[in-house]
C-alpha cells in the first residue's frame, strides 16, 4: 500500500517545492583568458580569439553554444552576468511544443505552424521551422536532464495556454526556464565551453564594404581594469550569435529582471536590420520594484479578490464598474490565466482584457491595485454574491477537473499550484498573509533582429537567437518563445558548421581607437545616465505601452530623436571609468527606443490598427468597448487592416537616420518533398542556402 507521500493528490513536500523554485545554479565553468594584448594608442587591449562567439548566457545562448561545440567549433560565451538574464530570473514558466496528439486533438506540424503565425507578420518558413524543430528541442533538453512532467505512459503532460487551442504547453513549474538554463549550463561545463563573464557587448567590428561586409569581432566592456582604465577588450571571431535578450530596461513598467538591456542598439549601429518592433506583450504582473512576475495561469484562475486602495486607505471593488454580473466578472478574471496578454479584441463583449483596462485606469487615478487570495471576490453592485456554483461552464469545468473547488482562493491555489505560493514566499511576499500588489507591465518583445530560417541576419557571420531575434509575429502561443530559442540554437549551429567561416582579416583598430577617444570625451559630458534612463523609461511606458495614440507616438518619436541628437551634441557623462558598460547600453537604448517609436509611427501613420497587445485609440472608430454603465468611449480603437498581416516593418540605421521600410512575409513551398529528391538536396547541402530575394523590401511608404 503506498505511503501518504505517494498517495494521489497528496500535498507536495517542502523539499519538492524548494527544488522547483530556488533552483541553485551549477558552478565550476571554465573562464577564458586573453590570447594576447595589443597596444592601441597607448592603451593596452586584451584580445581573445575564437571561431564562434555567443553573446548571452540564457537558455537560447547556452543551447547554441552547446550545439556549436558538438560540431567542433571553438566556441566561447561572453555574458554581462551569469544567472542574471530573463531565462534565469523571470517568469518563463512553460514551453509550447508539438503535442504529438497526446491531448487527442489531432495536432500536426502544419497546424502548429499555422497557429504560431496566426496573428500575422510571421514568416511562414520560420513558423514551420519552429513547429518541426520543437520535438528535437524538447528531446535534447530531456537528454541533458530537464525533467519534464510525464504521465505513467511516458507522455508529456500538456495544458492550454494563451493563443493555443490544442493544449500544447508543458511546464516544470514557475522556474521552467531557469531549470532549462541549469541543465544547459551543466552541459556546457561538461563540454568544456569557456566563458568571459561581466562582458557587455558594445561594438560589432566588421570588414568589407557594402554587401560584402562580414563580422570580424566584438568589443566588450569588462571589469578587467588592469589592462586599460575602461575595461575594454576585443574578441576576434568568425561568427557572432547575439543571444542577449530583449531591452527590458526600456520600460518603466516592466516585468523583466533588472539590467536586461539587450543588444538591439548595438546591432542597429552595425547596420543589422530589425523587424516587428511594433509587437510586444503587456499584461498584469507584480511591479518591478517589488518582485516582478507575470500574474498569469493559476494566480488568476483561482479567482482572488481584485481591489484597489486609494491614498486614504479606502478599498474599491473597481471591477464591478466594468462587468454586469458577478459571474461575468470572476469568470473573466479566471480567463486571464490563459488569455494573459492584453488584446484589444478581448475588450469587446465584456471580455478578459477589460481587466487590464480597469487596472490601468485605477493606477492612473493614483491608486494601488491588489490581488487578495484570502478573500473571495466581492459581488458587483446589486449582483449575486460570489459562488463556485455560479461560474461560466468552462471555468467551472476547469476547477472541477483539477479538484480545485476549495472555499478560499489561497486554498484553490495551494491545490492547483503550490509552487506559486512558494515562489513569492522566497521573494519576501507571503500570499497566505497579505495581498499581492499588481500592475500592467511590458513582458516580451516579439520583434527584434530580423533573421532568416537559419537564424542568420543581413550581416554575414552575425546570427540572432532567443528574444533578441524577430522570430515571432503579432501573437504567439504562450511558451513558444522558449521553444523558438531552443530550435534556432540548433539551427544556427548546423548552419555555422556548414559554412565553416575562417576569415584572415585583422581587426580594424581605428574603430577601437575611436571608442577610447569617445570615452575620454565623455568625462566632460553634460547628460547624466540617470536622467537619460528616466526619460527613456517614462516615455516608452507612457507613449508606447499597451494603449497608444497616433499623435502621442509621433510626438514621442520626435522627442526620442531629440534625445539622440542631445547625446551626440552634449554627450552622456561618464562619471567613472568603471561605468563604461552603463554608458554604452543607455546610449544604445536611446537608439533602440527611437527605433521602436519609428516603427510604431510608421505603422499608425499608414493606417495600422490595433493588434497583438496594443490598442490604438481612435475616437472616430465605431469599435467601442462596453462596460456595465455604458460605452468606454476613451478606448474606441482602430481595427487592424488584414493587409498589414502579410508584411513586416524593417528598421535600419545608417549611422545618422533611422529608416522604416516593408517587406512581405516569406512564404513557404508546402508541396510534398519526395525522399529521393530531398535526400539529394540534403547530401549536397543545398538545404542551407537561402534565396537572395528572401530579404527583399518594398520602397518606404
Contacts 24+ apart (CB under 8 A), 630-635: 632/347, 632/357, 635/347, 635/357, 635/547
H or E element at residue 102: none
Q: What sections of 71-120 are H helices per DSSP?
A: 86-89, 109-116
Average pLDDT over residues 556-576: 95
What's the burial of 578, exposed, middle or buried (CB within 10 Å: 0-12/13-18/19+)? middle
- Secondary structure class of 149 (helix, strand, coil): coil
The answer on 196 and 248 residing in a single domain is: yes
For residue 475 the three cell numbers come to: 501573437
How many whole angstroms separate alpha carbon 339 and alpha carbon 260? Answer: 25
The CATH number assigned to the domain holding 159 equals 3.50.50.60
Instruction: Decide which of 443, 470, 505 is a domain's last residue.
Output: 443
Average pLDDT over residues 671-700: 77
How many whole angstroms separate alpha carbon 110 and alpha carbon 118? Answer: 12
Q: What value does the CA radius of gyration of the chain take, rounded to a whole number of Å?
A: 25
Q: Name the maximum alpha-carbon separation found in the chain.
A: 78
* Sign of CA pseudo-dihedral 163, 168, 174, 175: negative
**Least confident span in 113-117, 371-375, 648-652:** 113-117
What's the burial of 404, exposed, middle or buried (CB within 10 Å: 0-12/13-18/19+)? buried
Is the separation of the CB atoms in 182 and 26 below 8 Å?
Answer: yes
Torsion angle of the four alpha carbons 410, 10, 404, 286, in this order, in degrees rounded to the nearest 10: 40
Say which residues have a Cβ less than 8 Å from residue 657's Cβ, sequence separation at least 6.
Answer: none
Whether 127 is in a domain gets the answer yes
Q: Residue 546's pLDDT is what?
A: 95
The CA distances from residue 286 to 316, 427, 442, 559, in Å, are: 19, 12, 11, 29
Q: Is 348 left (phi over 0), alpha (psi -120 to 50) or beta?
A: beta
Q: Residue 164's pLDDT is what?
A: 75
The answer on 543 and 561 residing in a single domain is: yes
- Other C-beta atoms within 10 Å of 211: how many? 7
Whether 320 is in a domain gets the answer yes
- Secondary structure class of 133 (helix, strand, coil): helix
- Rounded to the nearest integer, the mean pLDDT of the chain is 90
Q: How is residue 549 annotated by DSSP?
A: E
- Secondary structure class of 124 (helix, strand, coil): helix
The answer on 312 and 224 residing in a single domain is: no
**Of the ranges 70-84, 86-100, 245-259, 323-337, which is most confident?**
323-337
Whether 550 is in a domain gets the answer yes
The answer on 585 and 525 residing in a single domain is: yes
Q: Residue 543's pLDDT is what?
A: 96
Is the separation of the CB atoms in 52 and 238 below 8 Å?
Answer: yes
- Secondary structure class of 554 (helix, strand, coil): helix
pLDDT, tens only, 603-636: 999 999 999 889 999 999 999 999 999 999 999 9
The answer on 453 and 410 residing in a single domain is: no
Q: Is 512 left (phi over 0), alpha (psi -120 to 50) or beta?
A: alpha
How many whole angstroms separate alpha carbon 482 and alpha carbon 476? Answer: 11
How many whole angstroms separate alpha carbon 248 and alpha carbon 251? Answer: 6
Instruction: Decide which of 420, 443, 466 is a domain's last residue.
Output: 443
Q: Residue 692's pLDDT is what?
A: 55
DSSP per-residue codes, 682-700: HHTTGGG---GGGG--BPP
Residue 278's closest CA among 686, 654, 11, 651? Answer: 651
How many whole angstroms separate alpha carbon 129 and alpha carbon 454? Answer: 9
Whether 634 is in a domain gets the answer no
- Secondary structure class of 487 (helix, strand, coil): helix
Whether 619 is in a domain gets the answer no
Is the separation of the CB atoms in 170 and 162 below 8 Å?
Answer: no
The CA distances from residue 651 to 14, 107, 540, in Å, are: 50, 36, 18
- Structural domain including 375 reads 283-443
The answer on 562 and 689 residing in a single domain is: yes
**Least confident span in 134-138, 174-178, 331-335, 383-387:** 174-178
Whether 72 is in a domain gets the answer yes
How many whole angstroms separate alpha carbon 166 and alpha carbon 187? Answer: 32
With both helix axes pointing from N to C terminus, report the angle between 529-543 and 580-605 in degrees, rounded to the nearest 10.
Answer: 20
The CA distances from residue 647 to 222, 359, 544, in Å, are: 40, 33, 21
pLDDT, tens only, 276-324: 999 999 999 999 888 888 898 899 999 999 999 999 999 999 999 999 9
Of all residues in the chain, what percent carry a pLDDT higher than 90?
71
The residue written with cell numbers 512532467 in the block is: 149
For residue 670, pLDDT over 70 is answered with yes
Q: Residue 27's pLDDT is what?
A: 86
The answer on 343 and 332 residing in a single domain is: yes
How many whole angstroms separate alpha carbon 645 and alpha carbon 294? Answer: 28
pLDDT, tens only, 362-401: 999 999 999 999 999 999 999 999 999 999 999 999 999 9
The answer on 575 and 664 residing in a single domain is: yes
How many whole angstroms separate alpha carbon 347 and alpha carbon 323? Answer: 11
Beta strand spans in 431-520 (E): 436-445, 448-449, 462-464
Pairing of strands 547-549, 615-617: parallel
Pairing of strands 448-449, 274-275: antiparallel
C-alpha 100: how far from its chain's center? Answer: 26
How many whole angstroms separate alpha carbon 311 and alpha carbon 292? Answer: 23
Q: How is residue 477 annotated by DSSP?
A: -
- Other C-beta atoms within 10 Å of 555: how many? 15
Q: Residue 1's pLDDT is what?
A: 31
Q: Residue 564's pLDDT is what?
A: 97
Residue 298's closest CA among 322, 333, 346? Answer: 333
How many whole angstroms separate alpha carbon 375 and alpha carbon 270? Answer: 54
For residue 695, pLDDT over 60 is answered with no
Burial 14-42 (b: 16+ CB within 10 A, else e): eeebeebbebeebeebeebebeeeeebee
Instruction: Decide which of 394, 415, 443 is a domain's last residue.
Output: 443
Give the chain's domain count. 2
The answer on 463 and 517 residing in a single domain is: yes
- Other C-beta atoms within 10 Å of 380: how many? 22
Dihedral pair phi/psi, residue 39, rounded to 5°: -100, 120
- Secondary structure class of 447 (helix, strand, coil): coil
How many whole angstroms separate alpha carbon 577 and alpha carbon 587? Answer: 16
The answer on 512 and 431 residing in a single domain is: no
The answer on 202 and 134 residing in a single domain is: yes
Residue 55's closest CA among 217, 253, 286, 227? Answer: 217
Whether 377 is in a domain gets the answer yes
The answer on 396 and 336 residing in a single domain is: yes
DSSP per-residue codes, 288-328: TTS--EE--THHHHT-PEEEEE-TT--EE-GGGGT-SSHHH
172: pLDDT confidence band, cut at 50, 70 and 90? confident
How many whole angstroms separate alpha carbon 317 and alpha carbon 306? Answer: 7
How many whole angstroms separate alpha carbon 123 and alpha carbon 472? Answer: 8
Whether 185 is in a domain gets the answer yes
pLDDT, tens only, 467-516: 999 999 998 877 788 889 999 999 999 999 998 887 666 777 778 999 99
Q: What sections of 525-613 are H helices per DSSP?
A: 529-543, 550-570, 580-605
3: pLDDT confidence band, cut at 50, 70 and 90? very low
For residue 176 the three cell numbers come to: 521552467
For residue 335, pLDDT over 80 is answered with yes
Amino acid at each position: 500500500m503506498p505511503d501518504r507521500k505517494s498517495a494521489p493528490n497528496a500535498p507536495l513536500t517542502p523539499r519538492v517545492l524548494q527544488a522547483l523554485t530556488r533552483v541553485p545554479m551549477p558552478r565550476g565553468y571554465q573562464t577564458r583568458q586573453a590570447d594576447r594584448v595589443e597596444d592601441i594608442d597607448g592603451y593596452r587591449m586584451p584580445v581573445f580569439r575564437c571561431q564562434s562567439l555567443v553573446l548571452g548566457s540564457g537558455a537560447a545562448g547556452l543551447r547554441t553554444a552547446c550545439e556549436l561545440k558538438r560540431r567542433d567549433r571553438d566556441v566561447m560565451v561572453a555574458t554581462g552576468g551569469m544567472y542574471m538574464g530573463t531565462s534565469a530570473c523571470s517568469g518563463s514558466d512553460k514551453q509550447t511544443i508539438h503535442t504529438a496528439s497526446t491531448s487527442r486533438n489531432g495536432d500536426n506540424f502544419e497546424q502548429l505552424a499555422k497557429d504560431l503565425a496566426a496573428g500575422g507578420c510571421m514568416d511562414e518558413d520560420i513558423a514551420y521551422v519552429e513547429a518541426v524543430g520543437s520535438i528535437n528541442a524538447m528531446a535534447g533538453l530531456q537528454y541533458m536532464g530537464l525533467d519534464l512532467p510525464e504521465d505513467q505512459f511516458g507522455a508529456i503532460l500538456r495544458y492550454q495556454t494563451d493563443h493555443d487551442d490544442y493544449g500544447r504547453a508543458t511546464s516544470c513549474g514557475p522556474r521552467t526556464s531557469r531549470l532549462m538554463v541549469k541543465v544547459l549550463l551543466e552541459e556546457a561545463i561538461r563540454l568544456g565551453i569557456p566563458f568571459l563573464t561581466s562582458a557587455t557587448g558594445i561594438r560589432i567590428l566588421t570588414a568589407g564594404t557594402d554587401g560584402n561586409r562580414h563580422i570580424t569581432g566584438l568589443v566588450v566592456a569588462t571589469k578587467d581594469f588592469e589592462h586599460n582604465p575602461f575595461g575594454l577588450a576585443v574578441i576576434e571571431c568568425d561568427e557572432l550569435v547575439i543571444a542577449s535578450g530583449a531591452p527590458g530596461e526600456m520600460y518603466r513598467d516592466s516585468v523583466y529582471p533588472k539590467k536586461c538591456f539587450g543588444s538591439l542598439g548595438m546591432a542597429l549601429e552595425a547596420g543589422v536590420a530589425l523587424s516587428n518592433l511594433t509587437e510586444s506583450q503587456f499584461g498584469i504582473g507584480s511591479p518591478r520594484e517589488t518582485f516582478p512576475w507575470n500574474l498569469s495561469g493559476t494566480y488568476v484562475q483561482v479567482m482572488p479578490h481584485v481591489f484597489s486602495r486609494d491614498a486614504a486607505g479606502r478599498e474599491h471593488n473597481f471591477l464591478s464598474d466594468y462587468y454586469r454580473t458577478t459571474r461575468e466578472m470572476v469568470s473573466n478574471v479566471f480567463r486571464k490565466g490563459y488569455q494573459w496578454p492584453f488584446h484589444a479584441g478581448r475588450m469587446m463583449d465584456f471580455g478578459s482584457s477589460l481587466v487590464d483596462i480597469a487596472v490601468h485606469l485605477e493606477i492612473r487615478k493614483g491608486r494601488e491595485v491588489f490581488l487578495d487570495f484570502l478573500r473571495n471576490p466581492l459581488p458587483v453592485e446589486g449582483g449575486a454574491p460570489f459562488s463556485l456554483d455560479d461560474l461560466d461552464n468552462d471555468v467551472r469545468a476547469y476547477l472541477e477537473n483539477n479538484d480545485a473547488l476549495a472555499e478560499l482562493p489561497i486554498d484553490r491555489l495551494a491545490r492547483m499550484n503550490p509552487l506559486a505560493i512558494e515562489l513569492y514566499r522566497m521573494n519576501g511576499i507571503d500570499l497566505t498573509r497579505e495581498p499581492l500588489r499588481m500592475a500592467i507591465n511590458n513582458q516580451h518583445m516579439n520583434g527584434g533582429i530580423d533573421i532568416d530560417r537559419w537564424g542568420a541576419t543581413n550581416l554575414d557571420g552575425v546570427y540572432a537567437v532567443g528574444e533578441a531575434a524577430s522570430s515571432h509575429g503579432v501573437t504567439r502561443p504562450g511558451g513558444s518563445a522558449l521553444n523558438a530559442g531552443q530550435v534556432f540554437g540548433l539551427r544556427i549551429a548546423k548552419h555555422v558548421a556548414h559554412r565553416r567561416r575562417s576569415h584572415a582579416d585583422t581587426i580594424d583598430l581605428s574603430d577601437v581607437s575611436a571608442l577610447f577617444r569617445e570615452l575620454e570625451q565623455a568625462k566632460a559630458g553634460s547628460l547624466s545616465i540617470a536622467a537619460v534612463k528616466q526619460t527613456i523609461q517614462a516615455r516608452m511606458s507612457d507613449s508606447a505601452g499597451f494603449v497608444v495614440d497616433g499623435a502621442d507616438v509621433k510626438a514621442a518619436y520626435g522627442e526620442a530623436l531629440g534625445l539622440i541628437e542631445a547625446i551626440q551634441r552634449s554627450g552622456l557623462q561618464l562619471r567613472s571609468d568603471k561605468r563604461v558598460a552603463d554608458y554604452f547600453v543607455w546610449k544604445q537604448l536611446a537608439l533602440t527606443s527611437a527605433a521602436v517609436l519609428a516603427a510604431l509611427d510608421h505603422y499608425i501613420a499608414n493606417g495600422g490598427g490595433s493588434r497583438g497587445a496594443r490598442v490604438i485609440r481612435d475616437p472616430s472608430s465605431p469599435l467601442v468597448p462596453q462596460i456595465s454603465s455604458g460605452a468606454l468611449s476613451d478606448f474606441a480603437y482602430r481595427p487592424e487592416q488584414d493587409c498589414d498581416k502579410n508584411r513586416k516593418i524593417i528598421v535600419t540605421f545608417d549611422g545618422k537616420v533611422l529608416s522604416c521600410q516593408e517587406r512581405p512575409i516569406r512564404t513557404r513551398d508546402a508541396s510534398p518533398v519526395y525522399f529521393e529528391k530531398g535526400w539529394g538536396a540534403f547530401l549536397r547541402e543545398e538545404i542551407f542556402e537561402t534565396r537572395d530575394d528572401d530579404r527583399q523590401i518594398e520602397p518606404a511608404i
